[in-house]
Chains A and B, each alone.
Chain A
């Protein structure tokens, strides 16, 4: 049996505080490059000005340490825990919630979480965060912190297709959803598409999909081509940056597929806003 490795929750806590800080105040360099490329393909003044404003926003956020967006998000935490890892210290969920509360206070981030969906009292700490754990091989612990704003989350969608549905039917559904959402989720979007699994797995995969390395291609040729087709179709809507019109309605489309039941074909959509905020590390 392989050797076990001990990781204390103080390390996990410190890592999460750091990741929240990085994600809140600066775009990924690749995202910024994408903004510049999109600006150069836009013809209308308002679309170019919008993208220039988003680039400037990144400069100001970093220089003045003001968050990229006033909606500092729900904190979604993905952990990939190696089977040889032994976690010591606090209860793991408590350590994560502590990290979130500490980071949101320390960095003047907006606390946007209410304790109950109907009675709606703000917890004042931006906790609880939403934690997803996968067990994997090895003795490492992977952490990804994903900050998701409420406005774009509200545009999420799930459709359970017939298993015999065509690719075109799926593309039409995606285009219609993006078109109907229009300016609301703050395009250009990073569009996560979860295909297959059960309904809940598809929704989760739509979130995980956008966490793929920025600018990377889907490893499967079939899905890489489908991503390109969807991107093209979505950009033909004319919605454009922030819905003011233009060529760039989505910056990228990321599919994450999963095995599914013979009777089902779930397709879930995560319409992430232009400022895709996540950071990851491996302990």
Chain B
């Protein structure tokens, strides 16, 4: 199955065409953020301050890369488990984020929020972090350097392989898998 090619930032038409189970090749800019970065985002937004980047239509990647070896663009960079970011997802959607990449199931509340705001949750290949590093063209630390691997990196990716798990039509790939 040939993947659907999309670019960031995501527009409404692109999101409407994405259905649970669709294979996607993503290109453009994405931002890493995991547990601690989400806490920092929340603090900024609650204080009425902007995020460290323009979130409109952007995509967050739940990931904390391994250190970049000399001469490389980035280290291993696979997804972390997404449910830990569930409590923050409504806030991120409200701020303008429209795509999330991780691995694993989301809460019922997140699924409803995705429908409400018109956002998409994608999975990529958990534990295939060496492979995924080959799809990253450049990386730059843009916020919270004191968080080490939990800092926010701006990544430029090319044909980054992702799969739609939760679409705006309340579809869920993982549920379909176990319901046969």
Contact = CB atoms under 8 A, between A and B. Distances in A.
| Contact size range, A | 35 or more
A258 to B, nearest CB: 30
Interface string B64-80: 11111100100111101
B125 A46 contact: no
Contact of B81 (A56, A184, A274): A184
B79 to A, nearest CB: 9
Contact of A110 (B67, B104, B163, B177): B67
B133 A112 contact: no
Nearest to A58: B130
A8 interface: no
A71 interface: yes
Nearest to B69: A108
Interface in B34-93: 36, 63-69, 72, 75-78, 80-81, 83
A184 B81 CA distance: 6
B178 A237 contact: yes
Given A122-B148, A182-B105, A243 B65 contact: no
A87 interface: no
Chain B interface size band reads 35 or more
Nearest to B66: A110
A162 B126 CA distance: 36
Contacts of B141: none
Given A46-B163, A109-B67, A151-B81, A179 B127 contact: no
Interface string B124-140: 01111111011000000
B149 interface: yes
A60 B67 contact: no
B158 interface: no
B105 A124 contact: no
A194 interface: no
Main secondary structure of the interface of B (DSSP, over half): loop
A50 B125 contact: yes
Interface in A27-55: 45-46, 50, 53-54
B81 to A, nearest CB: 4
A69 B132 CA distance: 10
B76 A70 contact: yes
Contacts of A66: 66, 69, 72, 75-76, 129-130, 133
A82 interface: no
B130 A183 contact: no
Interface string A226-259: 0000000000011110111110000000000000
B128 A57 contact: yes
Nearest to A187: B126
A71 B147 CA distance: 15
B110 interface: no
A71 B80 contact: yes
A166 to B, nearest CB: 25
Contact of B148 (A50, A64, A124): A124
A69 B149 contact: no
A65 B81 CA distance: 24
Contacts of A124: 148
**Which of B66, B173, B174 has most A Cβ within 10 Å?**
B66
Interface of A: 45-46, 50, 53-54, 56-58, 60-61, 64-72, 108-112, 120, 122, 124, 149-151, 154, 179, 182-184, 186, 237-240, 242-246, 273-275
Interface of B: 1, 21, 23, 36, 63-69, 72, 75-78, 80-81, 83, 103-105, 123, 125-131, 133-134, 147-149, 161, 163, 173-174, 176-180
10 contacts: A65-B69, A67-B130, A68-B127, A108-B68, A110-B65, A110-B66, A110-B149, A237-B178, A243-B104, A274-B127
Given A69-B130, A70-B66, 15 more contacts: A50-B125, A57-B125, A60-B131, A61-B76, A67-B76, A69-B129, A70-B64, A108-B75, A111-B149, A151-B81, A183-B103, A186-B103, A243-B105, A243-B177, A244-B177
The 5 A-B residue pairs whose C-beta atoms are closest, nearest first, are: A245-B177, A61-B130, A184-B104, A110-B66, A70-B76
